[in-house]
Amino acid sequence: MKFGIVVFPGSHGQTDCHYVFEQILQEPVTYLWHAEEDLQGVDCVIIPGGYAYGNYLRAGAIARFAPLMEQVIAFGKKGGLILGICNGFQILTEAGLLPGALIRNPSLRFQCQNTYLRVEQTETPFTNLCEQKEVVKMPIAHEEGGFVTDKETLERLEKEGRVILRYCNEQGEVTPESNPNGSLHNIAGIVNEQGNILGMMPHPERCVEAILGGEDGKKIFNSLVAWWQGGAGR
Amino acid sequence: MFKAVVTITFKKSILDPQGSAVHKALKSLGYQEVEDVRMGKHVEILLRGEKRQEAETQVKEMCSRLLANPIIEDYQVELAEVEV
């Protein structure tokens, strides 16, 4: 399964992601420069964290118009697998591939900490190796992670089971105290209608080895490979 | 030539943590009369052209495509003709 990592000026999560695919998963991986127009035949597009185009105006607002993004949007609309992490999630909402928007944390602080997440759906390309309602630990590192959307969209996301990850406490209880950024319904990650595009604020690539403080992030990446090998790739 | 002044603000339904922080700061300075503070963005655009209608249409398009995010923000456009 070939992975492509989108790199904008200002991205900074690409090297960690590259390490995950090359060293941990040992799957083919390539960087995709934002100014190019070729996805190089990858099977999954990763939009990593960072400050694409400096996050000027709004996080993701300018990155969304990069030449490569047109290809990414077309790829996603055809059902191609896309994972947007942190700034990648912000870019996906700005591009219209995912609903809602991510606004400034109510703390007005850059929140850099471990969070517990409850896996709400396991029949997805991104979480099929997780247990239903499994609690995983992944770090967040962002200043604009408050997920907001209008009431109708929020209801639809819940009804259609498109909330994949929710901030919770260690016991898996979704509480206001376990919500680090004011996200509606403690939402940490959602998918699009077809279920092939996931945006998430936490960083799975930063917890793939015990030495990094945890390996739960590997479940997301391994799920993608399992999904692919299980039929999507054939 | 036209000068467009675009004011972008959060929709009423969206929490504005910066505005709340400034509100608190003003209160702590003794301005107890302050009822609410909302922060926003101010964008000035100089635009070539002679037709007001065209300029206005163009600026509104810029707002909806890039300058504002309609999910969370409202915008207002003020257009004035200026000397080159």
State what percent of residues in chain B have pLDDT above 70.
100
ipTM for the predicted complex: 0.86
Region of A184 on the Ramachandran plot (φ > 0 left; ψ -120 to 50 alpha; else beta): beta
A62/B71 Cβ within 8 A:
no
* A203 part of the active site: yes
DSSP state of B65: I
Domain containing A24 equals: 3-232
Instruction: Please state whether beta strands A81-85 and A44-47 pair in parallel, antiparallel, or not at all (unpaired).
Output: parallel
Q: Is the pLDDT of residue A170 over 80?
A: yes
DSSP state of B72: T
B72/A62 Cβ within 8 A:
no
Phi then psi for residue A205, to 5 deg, are -70, -10
Size of interface A-B (CB pairs under 8 A): 39
Q: What CATH number does the domain containing A63 carry? A: 3.40.50.880
Query: Which residue on chain B is closest to A106 by alpha carbon?
Result: B17
Which amino acid does the sequence have at A187?
Answer: I
Residue A150, pLDDT score: 92
* A94 part of the active site: no
Encode pLDDT of B19-59 as tens digits. Answer: 999 999 999 999 999 999 999 999 999 999 999 999 999 99
Confidence band of A231 (pLDDT split at 50, 70, 90): confident
Q: Which of A86, A130, A168, A207 is catalytic?
A: A86
Q: Which of B8, B16, B66, B73 to mutate to test the interface with A (most CBs of A within 10 A)?
A: B66
Distance from CA of A204 to the nearest CA of B (A): 27
Encode pLDDT of A13-38 as tens digits. Answer: 999 999 999 999 999 999 999 999 99
Q: Which of B17, B41, B71 lies closest to A106 in CB terms? A: B17
Per CB-CB distance under 8 Å, the chain A contacts of B38 are none
Residue B72, pLDDT score: 94
Check if B12 contacts A (Cβ < 8 Å).
no
Phi then psi for residue B11, to 5 deg, are -60, 155
Q: How far is CA A197 from CA A215, B27, B76, in A?
A: 22, 44, 33
Average pLDDT over residues A190-207: 98
A124 Cβ partners below 8 Å, 6+ apart? A164, A191, A195, A198, A223
B17/A107 Cβ within 8 A:
yes
Compute the distance between CA of residue A105 and CA of residue A110 in angstroms, rounded to an integer: 8
Compute the distance between CA of residue A127 and CA of residue A119 in angstroms, rounded to an integer: 8
Q: Is the pLDDT of residue A188 over 60?
A: yes
* A168 part of the active site: no
A107/B71 Cβ within 8 A:
no
Element housing B24 (H / E): helix B17-28
Confidence band of A232 (pLDDT split at 50, 70, 90): low
**Of the candidates A46, A207, A228, the residue with the CA atom closest to the CA atom of residue A128:** A228
**Of the candidates A45, A37, A35, the residue with the CA atom closest to the CA atom of residue A14:** A45
Q: Which of B17, B41, B69 lies closest to A104 in CB terms? A: B17
The total number of structural domains that make up chain A: 1
Compute the distance between CA of residue A14 and CA of residue A20 in angstroms, rounded to an integer: 10
Query: Which residue on chain B is closest to A64 by alpha carbon?
Result: B66
Q: Which of B10, B13, B18 lies closest to A108 in CB terms? A: B18
Residue A233, pLDDT score: 58
State what percent of residues in chain A have pLDDT above 90.
98
Query: Which residue on chain A is closest to B11 by alpha carbon?
Result: A150
Check if B72 contacts A (Cβ < 8 Å).
yes
SS (H, E, C) chain A: CCEEEEECCCECCHHHHHHHHHHHHCCCEEEEECCCCCCCCCCEEEECCECHHHHCCCCCCCHHHCHHHHHHHHHHHCCCEEEEECHHHHHHHHCCCCCCEEECCCCCCCEEEEEEEEECCCCCCCCCCCCCCCEEEEEEEECCCEEECCHHHHHHHHHCCCEEEEEECCCCCCCHHHCCCCCHHHEEEEECCCCCEEEECCCHHHCCEHHHCECCHHHHHHHHHHHHHHHHCC
B15 Cβ partners below 8 Å, 6+ apart? A103, A106, A146, A148, A182
Q: Which of B20, B21, B69 lies closest to A58 in CB terms? A: B69
Q: What domains, with CATH codes, occur in chain B?
A: 2-81 (3.30.1280.10)
Q: Is the pLDDT of residue A234 over 70?
A: no
